[in-house]
Amino acid sequence: MNSLQQTKYFAGAITISLVVSIFFLWLLEAPLVDTAKLLVEGAFGTNQRIGDTFMIWVPLLLASASLVVTFSAGLWNIGVEGQIVAGAVAASFVAREVQGSTTVILTLMVIGGFVGGALWGLLVGVLRVRGGVNEIFGGIGLNFVATGLIVYLVIGPWSRDGVASTGGTEPFGPQAWFPTIDGLRVSPLALIIAFVSLASVMFLLSKTHFGLRLRATGKNPLAANRFGIATSRYLLMAFIIGGGVAGLAGVTQAGAVYHRLVPSISGGYGFLAILIVLLARFRGLWVIPIALFFATIAMASFQWQLRLGLHSALGGVIQGVLVLSVVLVMGYQEVRQQREQSNSRDDAAL
C-alpha cells in the first residue's frame, strides 16, 4: 500500500478520534469552543506553561526512543517505568554523594542514569532470555520492585532529617540542578539529551549492521538464528540500550524538574510512551510531534479541570481514543491489504 493510501487511512483515524472525543465532551456538557481554546492556552498560553509542556515532552521522547529499540527487536518492554526509576535513583545517588563542579556532577548524573536504566533493563532481558519469563510479566514485576525501592530510599536512608515522609528527599545541591532558561523553566540540556538520544536510536536502527540484525531478530527470530545471528545476545542488547535511554528520562526528571528524588518520579511517562510509539507505528521521527501533542494534552487537562470543572482524566481518555482509533483503522488496512493479496494470488492461480 502506497504512502498516499496510508495517509488517507491515518487521516480517517484522526477524524474518527475527533468525532468520538467531541461526543464525550457533549456527554459531559462541556463547552466545545472553550475546551479547544484551553487545549492551546493550557499548554502554550504563558512562558511558564510552555516550559512545563516541554519538560513533559522530554521524558516522553526518551521513553518513546527506548521503546522504539525494544519494539524493533519484537519485545514489549512494559518495564520502561522501572527503568526510568532506576535511572533517577542512580542520578540521585550521584547528586547526593559526589562532590565537584556542575559540569562534573551533571556528566556523572547522565552516565549514572544511563547505566542504572541499562542494568534494570538487563534484568528484564535476563529473565526473558535465560529464565523464559515473558518480558511483559518480568517488566511489570520489576516496575513494582523499582517503586518499592524508591519509597524505601525516600523514607529510609535518604529521608529528610527528622521527617519520615514520602514527599521526597532533600533537594539536591545547586551543582546537580540542570540549567534552565530564565522565565521558561525549560532545560536546554534536557532537550539536547532527548533529541540526541532519539537521533542516535534512529541512526542505530536504520544505518548500522547492528540495527539491521536487531530488526531481523524482531521480524523473524527463527530465520535470523538460522542466518547466524545470535538472537539472544541481540535481545539482551535491546534491553540494555532501551533501558539506558529510559534511564535518561529519570535523570531529566530528577535533575531538571524535581531537583530531588520523589516516589512519582516516572510520572507514568513510560506507559504513555507505549501509546505514542504505537501511534507512530514504531517510527522514530513521528515520535517527535506525537509526543508533543500528548504533552499538550497532559498540560491542557489541568486547565480543563481548573477552569471548566472537567476531570483531569479526560486528557487520558482523549489520548486513548486517538490511539485506539489509529490501531483499529490501521488493523483494518492490514486485513484488507492481505485479503487483496490473497485474491490476487487466487486469480493468478486460475
CA dihedral 183, 188, 194, 196 (to 10 degrees): 160
On whether residue 326 sits in a domain, the answer given is: no
Residue 20 CB contacts under 8 Å (≥ 6 apart), including other chains: 321, 325
| pLDDT of amino acid 70 | 94
Contact 43, 343 (CB under 8 A): no
Q: What is the mean pLDDT of residues 142-162?
A: 91
| pLDDT of amino acid 280 | 83
Residue 64 CB contacts under 8 Å (≥ 6 apart), including other chains: 198, 273, 276, 277, 280, 287, 291
| pLDDT of amino acid 246 | 97
Q: pLDDT of 327-344, one tens digit each?
A: 787 777 777 777 777 776
| pLDDT of amino acid 104 | 96
On whether residue 266 sits in a domain, the answer given is: yes
Greatest mean pLDDT among 104-108, 274-278, 298-302: 104-108
Residue 42 CB contacts under 8 Å (≥ 6 apart), including other chains: 49, 296, 299, 300, 301, 302, 303, 304
How far is 215 from 226, CA to CA, in rounded Å? 15
Structural domain that includes position 79: 49-285
Identify which has the larger pLDDT, 225 or 194: 194
Contact 117, 250 (CB under 8 A): yes
On whether residue 18 sits in a domain, the answer given is: no
Contact 319, 291 (CB under 8 A): no
Closest CA to 114 of 242, 244, 221: 244
**pLDDT tier for residue 308 given thresholds of 50, 70 and 90:** confident
On whether residue 294 sits in a domain, the answer given is: no
Percentage of residues of the chain with pLDDT beyond 70: 94
How far is 118 from 83, CA to CA, in rounded Å? 7
On whether residue 148 sits in a domain, the answer given is: yes
Q: Which residue has the cell 521480524?
A: 219
Contact 251, 84 (CB under 8 A): no
Residue 290 CB contacts under 8 Å (≥ 6 apart), including other chains: 276, 279, 280
Identify which has the larger pLDDT, 233 or 318: 233
Contact 67, 77 (CB under 8 A): yes
Query: In terms of DSSP H, where are the helices of 28-79?
Result: 32-44, 47-72
Residue 212 CB contacts under 8 Å (≥ 6 apart), including other chains: none
| pLDDT of amino acid 311 | 74
On whether residue 333 sits in a domain, the answer given is: no
pTM: 0.88
pLDDT at 52 over 70: yes
| pLDDT of amino acid 4 | 62
pLDDT at 113 over 80: yes
Closest CA to 86 of 260, 196, 251: 251
| pLDDT of amino acid 331 | 74
Q: Which residue has the cell 483515524?
A: 13
In three-state secondary structure terms, 180 is coil
Q: pLDDT of 26-47, one tens digit each?
A: 877 777 888 888 888 888 888 8
On whether residue 73 sits in a domain, the answer given is: yes
Q: pLDDT of 69-100, one tens digit each?
A: 999 999 989 999 999 999 999 999 999 999 99
One-letter identity of residue 102: T
CA–chain centroid gap for 172, Å, is: 25
| pLDDT of amino acid 225 | 83
Please, what is the average pLDDT of the chain?
87
| pLDDT of amino acid 3 | 56
Percentage of residues of the chain with pLDDT beyond 90: 54
**pLDDT tier for residue 182 given thresholds of 50, 70 and 90:** confident
One-letter identity of residue 273: A
Q: pLDDT of 200-234, one tens digit each?
A: 999 999 999 999 999 999 888 888 888 888 899 99
How far is 296 from 39, CA to CA, in rounded Å? 7
**pLDDT tier for residue 119 given thresholds of 50, 70 and 90:** very high
pLDDT at 1 over 70: no
| pLDDT of amino acid 200 | 96
On whether residue 119 sits in a domain, the answer given is: yes
State how many domains the chain has: 1
Residue 62 has, within 13 A of its CA and on its CB side, a CA count of 34
